Amino acid sequence: MKNKFTITTLFFIISYSFFAQIPKADSLYTDHGNIIIQPVLHGTLVIQYQEKTIYIDPYGGVNAFKNIQDPNLILITDIHGDHLDLQTLKEIKTKEAKFIVPQAVADKLPKEYHENLNIMNNGDILKKDGISIKAIPMYNLPETPDAKHPKGRGNGYILILGEKKIYISGDTEDIKEMRKLKGIDVAFICMNLPYTMDIHQAASAVLELQPKIVYPYHYRGKPNFSDIEAFKTLVDKAGLNIDVRLRDWYPNYDE
């Protein structure tokens, strides 16, 4: 079987104009058609497969999605403004889109979206438009009442597209549920202190998870960006042939 990958917070809320070019989309071959992966901004990405367009945590304003098809599915991981961005949802075309969200997000969405909601809790599995979706826990360690991301509130997601498994971590630390995942082809792993985990935790988790391809994303911390080059070095040094894909998730960010 061919398996080739071709290059072809309260959280901060920053206004992005997106006059700068977002990274080029990547194409992942499957026997049932290519999966197009488009990094957008911070924790936002778009996946296209078999004429379906999936937005994950749409954020940054409508200009971030210029020249990208309108969504058929919208997955939202958590309630913070860089994941549940009501202004961006208002600006993009969502009338034909189905929403996949945890209950905490559903509780904050305006009524205009309610008829298109599919609520998933940690562990739930749903098939929608031929796509299998599983909700995965995402939370901070240690588990404390004042955690920025308590267990059970938000969802990471696994999408199965064709024969490929794509894992989206959401805002999490290197939790046991992530480390136990098997057969992941592509993983999007967050790494930003003090909200999620540092690059050493992220690398350790990835080396146990062993995805074929990993994208470090959601890496703007407080006050600095995480060193994704150093993350790549940590993963590469283990010699497990994990393909670390570095992309600029902040193309128009002015420090």
What range defines the domain where residue 100 resides?
25-244
**pLDDT at site 56:** 98
For residue 182, with 0-12 CB atoms within 10 Å meaning exposed, 13-18 middle and 19 or more buried, which class applies? exposed
Task: CATH number of the domain at 192, please.
Answer: 3.60.15.10
- Residue-wise pLDDT tens digits, 11-65: 333 333 433 577 899 999 999 999 999 999 999 999 999 999 999 999 999 999 9
The answer to whether position 19 is within a domain reads no
The answer to whether position 150 is within a domain reads yes
- Residue-wise pLDDT tens digits, 52-82: 999 999 999 999 999 899 999 999 999 999 9
The answer to whether position 9 is within a domain reads no
Q: How many CB atoms lie within 10 A of CB 150?
A: 15
The answer to whether position 5 is within a domain reads no
Q: Who contacts 241 (Cβ-Cβ below 8 Å, separation ≥6)?
A: none
The answer to whether position 126 is within a domain reads yes
Residue 3: pLDDT band with limits 50, 70, 90: very low
- Residue-wise pLDDT tens digits, 200-228: 999 999 999 999 999 999 999 988 999 99
How many residues comprise the chain? Answer: 255
The answer to whether position 97 is within a domain reads yes
Distance CA 42, CA 159 (A): 19
- Residue-wise pLDDT tens digits, 157-196: 999 999 999 999 999 999 999 999 999 999 999 999 999 9
Token pair belonging to 154: 């938000």
What is the pTM for the complete model shown?
0.90
Cα 186–chain centre separation: 11
Instruction: Give me the helices (H) in the chain, please.
Output: 86-91, 103-106, 176-179, 199-209, 228-237
How many independent structural domains does the chain possess?
Answer: 1
Angle at 241 between CA 237 and CA 246, to 5 degrees: 75
The answer to whether position 253 is within a domain reads no
Token pair belonging to 108: 């904050």
**pLDDT at site 253:** 56
